[in-house]
């Protein structure tokens, strides 16, 4: 082999350039992402020319290479698995087992009624209690949740936004009653309401009133809880809803800017709270882009905070982040492939420099994780920490032609999007105008079309199918047992508490909300001490602020335009047009969700794709009861009612709806789709569901099937 020397370098480069030029004629060597990032097949040192961020050093502004100088060499990232299992007792047992087996911090998943500020005895939530997390109705539940877990020693992360006041107040009082002073409580409350209005929808109050709550929490914690992170600014749910990495990064930073402004309006100085702000990003399968995203995030946050708020303390410029591997990348089909997907995503998070990490379990495409799948997910991180030597070198991909170029592209493209949000008046005004929502929904439709047309390969789903797939155990929650347990504790609290003291604390809370006078968290803590429930505190504030209700919207022409195989689209469109010409109207589908689950990505993608192909589509508002859905379904005159399920509502709410349909002898077809395990299909069909479309369903195939169900007379009034 010819020995490399500086002298012959130019000869080698000349030959390489000739080879590249020849290959350009054979194959496209450059392509552009939907965000405008140009990718190349080969990167060289020329791609590093004029990149300003290359002089970054870990532990120093702008912190691109990491918030700490020693990073994982000093201390590995925290293994923080997100979990909550129906009752406080079951969750407590699970947390203790995890801590014994290497987990270093707790991350609490609450059930949907708790998120939406309802107690477990509220008639609207009977089908949701304990289904997708732990039910917390009062401080007594919170005390059981942390029984035997010393809150002065354990960092606790709580994913809570809508009902953030009663939940954080209950945590504080539970700590007090353990004998823990406020200054020793450590952890994070998510408290990121703007992303709820963008994608996740577990909001309660309107945006501006919600920002008042956030600023009060930041004020209270900055004064009294120096070890506690008052907010975790989340991009994770944006990516899960379909956002690109550029969009996720830009909108998350823009949310953070909005929260700083809200705190400053409260009279706080930026350095009094900004060092305790934290972030939360999703990590998907776009391996190198995810690494670059985290590096760019630290740079952009430092840049924007310095530029807009000019803090004196460099700690105010540090972006510290938790990461979670993607849920939307998990597949029901050939589900053990998810172990590999999660491992790849975990490596991207670590190489990008996360401070803590949750790794999803392989079975979470269809249910909450079992004890066995949770162990595999946790051990994924332990193996990375202890068997790979990955912690030994700080920012190991620094200097890579590709990584540094891609980091710069993320900085530029996300930075431009942040500037657009600022010009619109900030994130609250941008959300009110629907700008970021529209971009995310469009991205979700493009991704779905690419998967359905095979342009984007998902192993085991649209290519390399497994013909010998085996079933796996999934976790089942006994909803009626959970409700019984919760009601018993609620009734005991209401019986034992001092009613006059309770009324006084709730009246003070209401007056503070009415008059914008007093700290709402401080007053919520007093109400919790008097044994006010989550629902009572939430409804007291609802009397003042109201309960926010979003207007459903359908995006058009994105799915069909992004679908590669245009002939398939054209054939189906033509058939639907023939039906319309013959019958005198288009086939109609009414797309809806039941219960308190706000994840509406699936419903919106379904509604938009059906509309693109020629269906008349009606999309319901969120949070319907079975009775409300039945009334709306009747008046819609739809051929098909399509129910999207994400959080096990198909086992409780859908059967109730079908009882109403059958008892009233209604003839419309009902289909279900979403996160539904195969073993539940037979139960749904016994109740009269015509078809079930599980995770990974090809939407074009589903539209064909539904159209043929209508076309060939399976609806009696056609």
Q: Is 439 exposed, middle or buried (0-12, 13-18, 19+ CB in 10 A)?
A: buried
The answer to whether 573 and 613 are in contact (CB under 8 A) is yes
- Concatenated DSSP letters of 103-172: --SEEEPBPHHHHTT--TT-GGGTTTTTSSSB---SHHHHHHHTTTS-TTT--EEE--STTHHHHHHHHH
E strand segments, 381-536: none
The answer to whether 220 touches 276, Cβ cutoff 8 Å, is no
Is 237 noted as a catalytic residue in this protein?
A: yes
Q: Which of 68, 115, 237, 656 is catalytic?
A: 237
Residues 6+ apart with CB under 8 A from 77: 350, 354, 355, 356, 357, 381, 385
- Cα–Cα nearest to 129, from 142, 113, 115: 113
Candidates 68, 131, 322, 599; catalytic one: 599
**Residue that has been written with the tokens 């086939």 in this structure:** 587
Closest CA to 118 of 34, 202, 180: 202
Chain-centre distance of CA 96, in angstroms?
Answer: 26
Task: Pick the catalytic residue from 82, 435, 681, 704.
Answer: 82
Residues 6+ apart with CB under 8 A from 227: 183, 184, 185, 186
Active-site residue flag, 322: no
> CA of 589: how far to CAs of 25, 221, 482, 509, in Å?
48, 48, 35, 45
The dihedral over CA atoms of 526, 531, 532, 535, expressed in degrees to the nearest 10, equals 130
Q: Is 593 a catalytic residue?
A: yes
Eight-state DSSP code of residue 315:
G
Question: What φ, ψ does residue 110 adopt, rounded to 5°?
Answer: -95, 155
User: Max CA-CA distance within the chain?
Assistant: 90
Residues 6+ away with beta carbon under 8 Å from 440:
198, 199, 238, 241, 242, 243, 247, 251
Catalytic-residue membership of 82: yes
Catalytic residue, chosen from 95, 203, 220, 236, is 236
Which pairs count as long-range contacts for 509-517, CB under 8 Å and 24+ apart, including other chains? 509/537, 509/540, 509/541, 510/540, 510/541, 510/543, 510/544, 513/540, 513/541, 513/544, 513/545, 514/544, 516/212
User: Which string of b and e fits 173-193 if b means at least 16 CB within 10 Å?
Assistant: bbbbeeebebeebbbbbbbbb
- Cβ atoms of 329 and 285 within 8 Å: the answer is yes
Q: How far is CA 64 from CA 53, 69, 250, in A?
A: 8, 11, 16
Which listed residue (35, 119, 141, 597) is catalytic? 597
Residue reference for tokens 């203790």: 96
- Sort strands 38-40 and 30-32 into parallel, antiparallel or unpaired: antiparallel
How many DSSP H helices and E strands does the chain contain?
A: 28, 17
Q: Is 236 a catalytic residue?
A: yes
- Angstrom distance (rounded) from CA 605 to CA 196: 18
| Known catalytic residue at 128 | no
Which residues are identified as catalytic?
82, 236-237, 593, 597, 599
């Amino acid at each position: 082999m010819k020995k490399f020397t500086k002298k012959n370098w130019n000869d080698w480069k000349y030959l390489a350039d000739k080879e590249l030029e020849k290959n350009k004629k054979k194959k496209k060597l450059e392509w552009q992402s939907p965000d405008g990032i140009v990718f190349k097949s080969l990167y060289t040192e020329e791609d590093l020319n004029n990149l300003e961020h290359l002089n970054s050093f870990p532990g120093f502004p702008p912190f691109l290479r990491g918030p700490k100088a020693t990073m994982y060499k000093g201390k590995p990232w925290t293994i923080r698995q997100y979990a909550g299992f129906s009752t406080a007792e079951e969750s407590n047992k699970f947390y203790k087992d995890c801590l014994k087996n290497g987990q270093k911090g707790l991350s609490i998943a609450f059930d949907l009624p708790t998120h939406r500020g309802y107690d477990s005895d509220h008639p609207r939530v009977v089908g949701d209690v304990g289904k997708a997390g732990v039910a917390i109705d009062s401080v007594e539940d919170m005390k059981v949740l942390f029984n035997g877990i010393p809150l002065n020693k354990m960092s606790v992360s709580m994913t809570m936004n809508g009902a953030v006041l009663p939940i954080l107040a209950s945590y504080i009082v539970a700590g007090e009653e353990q004998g823990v002073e406020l200054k020793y409580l450590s952890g994070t409350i998510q408290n990121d309401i703007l992303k709820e209005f963008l994608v996740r929808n577990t909001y309660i109050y309107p945006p501006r009133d919600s920002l008042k709550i956030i600023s009060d929490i930041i004020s209270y914690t900055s004064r009294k809880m120096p070890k506690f992170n008052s907010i975790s600014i989340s991009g994770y749910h944006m990516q899960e809803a379909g956002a690109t990495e550029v969009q996720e990064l830009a909108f998350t930073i823009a949310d953070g800017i909005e929260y700083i402004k809200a705190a400053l309006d409260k009279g706080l100085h930026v350095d009094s709270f900004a060092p305790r702000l934290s972030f939360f990003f999703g990590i998907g399968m776009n391996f190198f882009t995810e690494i670059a995203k985290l590096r760019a995030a630290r740079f952009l946050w430092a840049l924007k905070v310095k530029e807009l708020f000019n803090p004196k303390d460099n700690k105010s410029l540090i972006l510290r982040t938790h990461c979670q591997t993607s849920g939307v990348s998990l597949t029901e089909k050939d589900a053990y492939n998810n172990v590999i997907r999660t491992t790849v995503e975990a490596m991207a998070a670590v190489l990008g420099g996360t401070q803590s990490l949750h790794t999803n379990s392989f079975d979470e495409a269809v249910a909450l994780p079992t004890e066995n799948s949770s162990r595999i997910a946790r051990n994924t991180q332990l193996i990375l920490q202890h068997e790979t030597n990955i912690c030994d070198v700080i920012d190991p991909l620094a200097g890579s032609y590709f990584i540094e170029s891609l980091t710069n592209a993320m900085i530029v493209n996300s930075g431009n999007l942040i500037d657009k949000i600022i010009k619109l008046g900030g994130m609250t005004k941008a959300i009110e105008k629907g700008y970021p929502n529209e971009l995310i929904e469009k991205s979700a439709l493009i991704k779905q079309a690419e998967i359905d047309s095979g342009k984007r390969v998902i192993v085991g789903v649209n290519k390399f199918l497994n013909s010998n797939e085996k079933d796996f155990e999934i976790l089942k929650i006994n909803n009626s047992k959970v409700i019984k347990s919760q009601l018993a504790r609620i009734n005991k609290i209401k019986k034992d508490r001092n009613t006059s003291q309770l009324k006084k604390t709730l009246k003070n809370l209401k007056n503070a909300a009415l008059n914008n006078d007093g700290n709402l968290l401080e007053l919520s803590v007093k109400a919790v001490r008097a044994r006010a429930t989550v629902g009572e505190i939430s409804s007291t504030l609802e009397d003042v602020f109201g309960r926010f209700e979003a207007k459903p919207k359908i995006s058009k022409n994105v799915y069909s335009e992004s679908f590669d195989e245009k002939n398939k689209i054209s054939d189906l469109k033509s058939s639907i047009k023939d039906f319309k010409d013959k019958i005198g109207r288009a086939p109609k589908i009414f797309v809806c969700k039941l219960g308190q689950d706000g994840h509406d990505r699936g419903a919106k993608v379904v509604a938009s794709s059906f509309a693109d192909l020629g269906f008349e589509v009606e999309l319901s508002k969120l949070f319907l009861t079975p009775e409300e859905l039945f009334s709306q379904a009747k008046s819609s005159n739809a051929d098909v009612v399509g129910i999207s399920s994400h959080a096990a509502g198909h086992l409780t709410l859908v059967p109730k709806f079908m009882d109403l349909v059958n008892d009233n002898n209604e003839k419309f077809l009902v289909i279900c789709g979403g996160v539904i395990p195969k073993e539940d299909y037979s139960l749904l069909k016994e109740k009269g569901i015509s078809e079930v479309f599980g995770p990974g369903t090809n939407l074009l195939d589903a539209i064909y099937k539904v159209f043929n169900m209508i076309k060939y007379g399976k609806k009696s009034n056609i």
